[in-house]
């Protein structure tokens, strides 16, 4: 493979399009560019690109026609790639939230795979359709470029049947109603990072809290997932930016009895709940921390309390806890949230060091703490790049020098 060969990784969301471009040397990805088109569909849409050092090379507002929807944003990205790269990427790796029960590893996209993934849209309506949109566009415009789907659910396929079942009649399991788990690409990265840099830690009982606009936690031993807080959909588990987390299903029945339609209920559960619903102000932790409104404090207190309860519950699956890891946007950057969660878990033996926590240090507990608490930055795009290359190699798809 020549040094001009590049791999594109795409992570398409409901209102954003994240991407990274990797140069590939000896089948190893090396970051060249990373970028984000944000606020798609809004007047504040923006396009920002950084090089491998983090230096900003492009930072501009987009006119409405450039970012009216995800398809338009893809055109903006395609134009930038064409003007910047010496030639088209030899392959594209995609984050796909839901792989269903069939896919435990990354897979080369063909018509059958795409049909299967399209069929899972109802299990992750906020994510799956948007994840797949760039796949469809590329298959239409550049069918010669191999595409690989990398799944957030795949990491959790190591769970036991006991963990994956709901207490429902077997006929529902046969139709795919089971606990899938999400944020698996992030957990895969943290597991690999610990294996490489913290080999003694990864052997123990670890809970990783992926706290971002979407939030979940995962228990693992020897880097293998054992249990997680999200279940059938990405609504379950911890409270999130705009999603409620664990909710009595009777609430949904009550909504139906009040005459609410499917679409109305879906909108409430996916876009109006969580921190946004509790506070009535914002779903962004930064906004709530800056607010003096009592409702903002209540929302944050709810988030830390429920997160701590879920983390404590995960200890059952691994029979204790040796290390708690915080990752993702909130987990990596919010000392206040980490302190709140760890405060609720102090009875387990967590002795947080306030100065280390404030500094976002690698380890934020005092030396005598029975449970170590660490902060590890996640990198889902690097996992996608590695999985894409491994998938192409297995499929014996080579790129000419």
Q: Which residues are identified as catalytic?
A: 152
Q: Token match 């409405």: residue? A: 64
Closest-CA residue to 379 (of 332, 316, 311) = 332
Give phi and psi for 175, each to the nearest 5. Answer: -95, 5
Alpha carbon 246 to its chain's center: 18
Run of H or E residues at 20: strand 17-25
Q: What is the DSSP string of 367-397?
A: TT-SSEEEE----HHHHHHHHHHHHHHHTT-
> Three-state DSSP class for 221?
strand
Burial class of residue 260, CB neighbours in 10 A (0-12, 13-18, 19+): middle
On whether the CB atoms of residues 346 and 333 are closer than 8 A, the answer is: no
In angstroms, the CA 380 to CA 50 distance is: 17
């Amino acid at each position: 493979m020549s040094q001009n060969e590049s791999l594109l990784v795409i992570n398409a969301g409901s209102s954003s399009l994240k991407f990274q471009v990797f140069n590939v040397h000896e089948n190893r990805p090396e970051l060249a560019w990373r970028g984000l088109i944000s606020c798609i569909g809004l007047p504040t849409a923006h396009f920002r690109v950084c090089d491998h050092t983090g230096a900003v090379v492009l930072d501009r507002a987009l006119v409405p026609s450039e970012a009216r929807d995800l398809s338009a944003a893809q055109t903006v990205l395609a134009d930038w790639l064409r003007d910047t790269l010496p030639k088209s990427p030899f392959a594209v790796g995609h984050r796909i939230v839901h792989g269903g029960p069939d896919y435990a590893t990354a897979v080369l996209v063909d018509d059958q795979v795409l049909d299967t993934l399209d069929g899972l849209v109802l299990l992750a309506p906020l994510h799956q359709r948007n994840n797949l949109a760039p796949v469809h566009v590329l298959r239409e415009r550049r069918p010669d470029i191999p595409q690989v789907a990398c799944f957030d659910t795949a990491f959790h396929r190591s769970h036991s049947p006991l963990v994956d079942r709901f207490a429902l009649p077997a006929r529902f399991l046969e139709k795919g109603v089971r606990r899938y788990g999400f944020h698996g690409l992030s957990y895969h990265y943290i597991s690999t990072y610990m294996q490489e840099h913290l080999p003694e830690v990864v052997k123990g009982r670890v809970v990783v809290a992926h706290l971002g606009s979407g939030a979940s936690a995962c228990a693992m031993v020897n880097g293998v997932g054992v249990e997680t807080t999200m279940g059938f959909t990405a609504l379950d588990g911890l409270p999130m930016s705009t999603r409620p987390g664990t909710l009595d299903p009777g609430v949904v029945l009550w909504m139906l009895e009040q005459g609410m339609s499917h679409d109305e209920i879906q909108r409430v559960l996916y876009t109006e709940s969580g921190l946004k619903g509790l506070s009535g102000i914002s779903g962004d932790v930064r906004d709530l921390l800056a607010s003096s409104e009592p409702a903002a404090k209540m929302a944050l207190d709810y988030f830390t309390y429920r997160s701590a309860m879920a983390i404590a519950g995960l200890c059952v699956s691994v029979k204790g806890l040796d290390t708690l890891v915080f990752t993702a946007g909130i987990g990596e950057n919010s000392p206040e949230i980490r302190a709140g969660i760890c405060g609720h878990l102090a009875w387990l033996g967590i002795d947080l060091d306030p100065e280390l926590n404030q500094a976002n240090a690698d380890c934020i507990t005092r030396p005598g703490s029975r449970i170590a608490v660490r902060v590890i930055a996640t990198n889902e795009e690097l996992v996608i790049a590695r999985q894409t290359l491994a998938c192409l190699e297995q499929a014996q798809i080579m790129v000419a020098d």
